[in-house]
Amino acid sequence: MKIFLTGGAGFIGSNFVRYLLSETGVRQVINYDKLTYAGNLENLKDVEGDPRYRFVCGDICDRAALDEALPPETDLLINFAAESHVDRSIESAAEFIETNVLGVQALLDLSRRKGVRRFVQISTDEVMGSIEGDRYFNETSPLEPNSPYAASKAAAEMLVRAARMTFGLETVVVRSGNCYGPYQFPEKLIPLMISNTIKNVPLPVYGDGLQERDWVFVGDYARALWAVAMKGRAGAVYCIGARTQRTNLEVVRAVLAGLGRPESLIRYVQDRPGHDRRYALDPTRLEQELGWRPAESFASGLKRTIEWYRSNPSWIEKVTSGAYRDYYQRMYGRREGYR
Ligand code: NAD
Ligand code: TYD
């Protein structure tokens, strides 16, 4: 099976590459990634020499580079590539529209032209906005995005739908809750809190810290995604959630407890504008149709995550250093990559 991934050098993508190579019988995996601040080949050092794996440095908005990199009759294209951080989208939305919207259209056009057999779009629960009380999102919930990031991902879903309805491209969409685990860039809640705790610097909690997120460990996510990619119904949406909602304060306190540090490190800071209060997903479709169940509880997944960050302080230093990024961009260029 020939698989083409975009954004595979980021957090979820790099974990998924490792899963593909170790747990499935895939023959060829191409990882096409622009290496933005969030993409790091350091995340994939251990698979670099695997003959089934090839990295190509490129932008999904660059149609000529994509055309060159995408082999004809690819069995499966999974689009992880995105600008993914809500706070950055509030600062400036331009790159979110370019990659998350225009880039997705470029991928869809090319997939159609080059005979990609199945196109999987990685989406997010955030396209459905905030859900109050004790209700849950499912695959039929309306799209009501509230941040520029969420709006760009909702737009992408609409373009994927149009490619299916108008041109018959075989597509599947996954919407997940918040993912966590090793190799997540330390700007998102869990890795930032772990990194700050290790460095003994304050932990910024937005607003009252009582916002809820639905957490899924990245290893469980990888299994769910593979099940959807292989056996999910064409045209369907699947919600990936582990029935694990926690308030941000609960998460931050669990990180502090896991590292044996006091709660006095918590600093309440100004809230995020338009901050979604609650995400909660009903994963019944995934469970019933594809038999998926998470292997990690939040406690066990967080323990594994903390252990990984504690054992890899140099990874945090490297990926947050501008010099390191410049090195990879100089080394591999934006288009050519190494093969
Ligand atoms: P990430 O920010 O860690 O990685 C994104 C990757 O995409 C990076 O390797 C980056 O270099 C690459 N990229 C960005 N722009 C590109 C472009 N124009 N061309 C090619 N590559 C480009 O993100 P992540 O957390 O791994 O998320 C992966 C996907 O999952 C995204 O689509 C995101 O919207 C979605 N998602 C993430 C979460 C989460 O909790 N992390 C939850 C739901 C959905
Ligand atoms: P984040 O990891 O940015 O993911 P998302 O916004 O996509 O859910 O944030 C998770 C939650 O944590 C969100 O409610 C915002 C909050 N948060 C903080 O309170 N402090 C922080 O420093 C960060 C990065 C997030």
- Say if strands 245-247 and 212-217 run parallel, antiparallel, or are unpaired: antiparallel
The answer to whether residues 227 and 254 belong to one domain is no
Full domain range(s) for residue 174: 2-179+215-240
CA of 288 to the centre of ligand 1 (A): 28
pLDDT, position 339: 27
CA distance 197 to 195: 5
The CB-side HSE value for 158 (13 A sphere, CA atoms) comes to: 14
Tokens describing residue 283 = 């994963």
Atom of ligand 1 nearest to the CA of 85: 2
pLDDT, position 269: 95
Tell me if residue 185 falls in helix, strand or coil: coil
320 pLDDT tier (thresholds 50, 70, 90): confident
Q: Is 337 in the pocket of ligand 1 (CB under 6 A)?
A: no
The ligand whose atoms approach the alpha carbon of 176 most closely is 1
Tell me if residue 339 falls in helix, strand or coil: coil
Q: Is 213 in the pocket of ligand 2 (CB under 6 A)?
A: yes
CA of 142 to the centre of ligand 2 (A): 23
Q: Is 99 in the pocket of ligand 1 (CB under 6 A)?
A: yes
Q: Is 296 in the pocket of ligand 1 (CB under 6 A)?
A: no
Atom of ligand 1 nearest to the CA of 180: 40
Contact between 139 and 288 under an 8 Å Cβ cutoff? The reply is no
338 pLDDT tier (thresholds 50, 70, 90): very low
The total of other beta-carbon atoms located within 10 Å of residue 119's CB is 25
Q: What tens digit of pLDDT does each residue of 181-223 get?
A: 999 999 999 999 999 999 999 999 999 999 999 999 999 999 9
The CB-side HSE value for 113 (13 A sphere, CA atoms) comes to: 12
The answer to whether residues 252 and 313 belong to one domain is yes
- Say if strands 2-6 and 76-79 run parallel, antiparallel, or are unpaired: parallel
CA distance 95 to 331: 23
* 279 part of a folded domain: no
* 50 part of a folded domain: yes
The answer to whether residues 320 and 201 belong to one domain is yes
The answer to whether residues 208 and 221 belong to one domain is no
Please tell me the total count of domains within the chain: 2
The answer to whether residues 60 and 187 belong to one domain is no
The answer to whether residues 206 and 83 belong to one domain is no
Q: CATH number of the domain at 306, please.
A: 3.90.25.10
Assess whether pLDDT exceeds 80 at residue 333: no
pTM, rounded to two decimals: 0.96
CA of 189 to the centre of ligand 2 (A): 5
- Report which of 334, 325, 337 is spatially closest to residue 40, judged by C-alpha positions: 325
